A and B are shown apart, each in its own frame.
Chain A
């Protein structure tokens, strides 16, 4: 299933809510939590990460990965957290509204 540009940003931000992650971990998180339904090209993922870093929604730091390798870790900034919240709210109410319409069985008068 392909995704819209803005959607990827939200998923990435969501992936970072549990603490700093490197890019590979974010990719894996998206794959696993969607049950493999959503596939993202890794290149697109990194582009999203760097763009959002540039816009100040996430910060980065070089650190050491669980396997002792040097890796770049991303973390949410307050601005990113706020953005994620508003997007999540918007998304949820959108989905709820669409769902409500789709579930309607009575033809309106």
Chain B
């Protein structure tokens, strides 16, 4: 093909800007030359004159080309936008004609997408983004130390001493920053009767720079203000406290506030919603060094009360940082405990639990994210079903359009845009679901996490619509391709044999998929519900559901030695008489005092000697936990007595030393014989023999799942070296009323310090959270999926019945009874469901290993759960097929046969 011919051909399709310009200029030159020739010039003169008359030919040409290019680009864009707008208008019109279809899709998708948006919001905060105001959370981690003890299994902990923190921050090169914090605990704000509880956290001066938070006002404390031996009395307040207490004025800086009877100067405001790495909120932040747990805390390994956060230096892996920290901490230890020489330090994500494992709630949430995606799949299957059905209804229309010359590509685009429109509607509905669901979920199931949002923020928004669009493309493309594949003649002819059977196979497959996904979800739900029941059924060794615990906080900060002892004794005497008065009240069933209580203060480490039992290793005895208790303690807590007696009023300070042990301790120390009457020497000399007078049940002290440990009780007053008295009360009648009566009674006492009163049950509630979260959300998602799938199955069966109207008519004409037809159609539905159940159960069995760690004392392949779910889903399948079956039985053979 010659050059010019090729150019001409190309111009037919789309002339290039350069060619256009060249053609125009060439024409102009030709005309000029002719003009000059006519005026009598020679050809050479004429051409020269034409060029002179034109000016800078190349310059002008490139100017014209660039103008043309600009113009063409602009037109192209306008055309494209016009096309899209037109598609949207046409699609919207089509949807308005079928409002029920549009509404169904929007609601279904809204639920599916909303489930995902809700879970994404939770995961995003719990795991992805880290606590609010943490900058570049990926680089921030927590430090864990694993002790590989010979006989005992290795234990990992995150609490360390100040000495560990300072060794790391001074020597480690792998970290850009190192800081430490102590989670918020209850403190006392104000003085006298105006005093009220406040959440007070401590942090080292570099904690804030490590996580990256910046003050809203003022500054954070400096290194000088937070150094051993004692830091400055400065305090940071939360933005919330600043607003509520100080009216949000800048002059708050420099003001003094009273915390725990000491005066602190406000120097800065921490931004709203800032929490510690464990997502606990604090009203005030104190320098780590103003509170000292033990005298030699800067160098001691005995006091381990703070947790270290780290920010990795650029390009340092957490493995390398962990290895360096290991070396540093091993070298830094100078004591005699050989386990420090073998410790292993590691840096793990911020959202890991205190024990160094992904927190159970985060883990369950991660599963729920997967579950939400499965729900979305079920939803998609349904919507795809609806779209296919609709595409089938519209095949004639589409065939006509194809016949009239509409491009297949354009039709596909139109159908995809239509789907995208409803899917975007679904996205908005999903946002609504996420907003409502997220709020409810955060308030009820995850209430201990400091959420700063209501479930929908910019990230959730983006996630939702990205998900909606992907969903739309996936479910919109398939039906669009199916619809436009319509062979023109068949569609226009209408009637049977138009490939309906093939599409029905696709729809049946979708129903099988839905059923199997439902089965998986429901089995998950069943497992979590069972786990929740199991966890509820755990015998804690006490009955927490009707117990109040009050913890008066006496200020002993300035007292030492004998003066301190004296004060403690005096306070305890006051509390004793208070409890005696309380016990006389008609609304009180039992009232007791104790030092140490389950899920509260715990004490161990007191030297025990058991005469005649020297073979028991000291490490076992040292770990035994001690509680000092008055006579009514066991009755108040509901801890059953197994043998012997409980304490009486005669067992007190100065009386003959007695002790009550738990069953495990009795069994461990005196296997085979009764522990009653045996002797335990509690504490260092001159302690004497304490006689075992009773044996009580084992009590869970820290969690639902814990190994039985040695526990013993001494009469209140006989304890040495432990302090912090709590009041335990088992009221008669209403718990809430009793709570306020108790508060009033305590406030009425002279010189009563601030007292925190809590329900034991609410102290325990967080323990059940993972399973409650799992059971609720798996259950909600599972039922959601089941309803959606049932609707889907119904529509598929109804479609199959409609498709086979003629066949059914023939069979009825040949004498098939209605009952038989119903049975057959229902059997069809059950068969589809059964296929799904088989697949679903197989998947559940295969996945069992993964979910096992999340369950509470039960096998992930629990046959009961699987059986119940299988039966329920099959039953739902039969029910969904019932209505179409009735319709099938009612087919009039004459009408059916004539219909074509």
Contacts and interface: CB of A to CB of B under 8 A. Distances in A.
Contact of A43 (B23, B59, B67): B59
A22 B35 CA distance: 15
B55 A24 contact: no
A42 B35 CA distance: 14
A81 interface: no
Interface residues of B, number: 23
A70 interface: yes
A71 B24 contact: yes
B24 to A, nearest CB: 5
Nearest to B31: A24
A43 B57 CA distance: 7
B69 to A, nearest CB: 10
A88 interface: no
Contacts, number: 56
B810 to A, nearest CB: 66
Given A41-B53, A71-B24, A46 B30 contact: no
A40 B107 CA distance: 69
B60 interface: yes
B54 interface: yes
A92 to B, nearest CB: 30
Question: Of A28, A65, A71, which is in contact with the most chain B CB atoms at under 10 Å from its CB?
Answer: A71
Contact of B27 (A27, A51, A54, A70): A70
A43 B54 contact: yes
Nearest to A72: B24
Contacts of B70: 54
B60 A43 contact: yes
A52 B583 CA distance: 100
A43 B55 contact: yes
Contact of A54 (B23, B24, B55, B67): B67
A64 B192 CA distance: 103
B32 interface: yes
B614 interface: no
B71 interface: yes
Question: Of B31, B57, B68, B70, which is in contact with the most chain A CB atoms at under 10 Å from its CB?
Answer: B31
A53 B64 CA distance: 11
B25 A46 contact: yes
A41 B28 contact: no
A47 B60 contact: yes
Nearest to B35: A28
A27 B50 CA distance: 12
B68 A41 contact: no
Interface in B34-86: 35, 53-57, 59-60, 63-64, 67-68, 70-71
A50 B23 contact: no
Nearest to A51: B67
Question: Of B27, B56, B64, which is in contact with the most chain A CB atoms at under 10 Å from its CB?
Answer: B27
Given A43-B60, A46-B60, A72-B23, A23 B28 contact: yes
B20 interface: yes
Nearest to B23: A70
B628 to A, nearest CB: 93
B63 A47 contact: yes
A93 B482 CA distance: 70
Interface in A32-70: 41-44, 46-47, 50-51, 53-54, 65, 69-70
Contacts of B68: 50
Contact of A46 (B32, B35, B64): B64
Interface in A10-28: 22-24, 27-28
Contacts of B71: 53-54
A71 B59 CA distance: 21
A69 B35 CA distance: 15
Contacts of A22: 27-28
Interface in B1-45: 20, 23-25, 27-28, 30-32, 35
B27 A24 contact: yes
Interface in B234-290: none
Contacts of A53: 67, 71
Given A41-B54, A44-B55, A72-B27, A24 B32 contact: yes
A23 B63 contact: no
Contacts of A65: 27
Contacts of A70: 23, 27
B27 A69 contact: yes
Contacts of B24: 23, 46, 71-72
Contact of B32 (A42, A47, A50, A51): A42
A46 B65 CA distance: 11
B67 A50 contact: yes
B55 A42 contact: yes
Question: Of A27, A41, A46, A54, which is in contact with the most chain B CB atoms at under 10 Å from its CB?
Answer: A46
A54 B64 CA distance: 10
Interface string A66-108: 0001111000000000000000000000000000000000000
Nearest to B28: A24
A73 to B, nearest CB: 10
A9 to B, nearest CB: 14
Contacts of B63: 47, 50
B409 to A, nearest CB: 29
Contacts of B28: 22-24, 27, 42, 46
A50 B53 contact: no
Contacts of A41: 53-55
A71 B64 contact: no
A89 B211 CA distance: 71
A46 B32 CA distance: 14
A70 B24 CA distance: 9
A14 B549 CA distance: 98
A49 B436 CA distance: 61
A69 B31 CA distance: 10
A23 B31 CA distance: 10
A13 to B, nearest CB: 17
A22 B53 CA distance: 17
16 contacts: A22-B27, A24-B27, A24-B32, A42-B28, A42-B32, A42-B53, A42-B54, A43-B57, A44-B55, A46-B60, A47-B63, A50-B63, A50-B67, A54-B70, A69-B30, A72-B20
Q: Which 3 A-B pairs have the closest CB atoms?
A: A43-B55, A43-B60, A41-B55
Given A44-B60, A70-B27, 13 more contacts: A24-B27, A41-B53, A42-B54, A43-B56, A43-B57, A44-B55, A46-B24, A46-B28, A47-B60, A54-B67, A54-B71, A69-B30, A72-B20
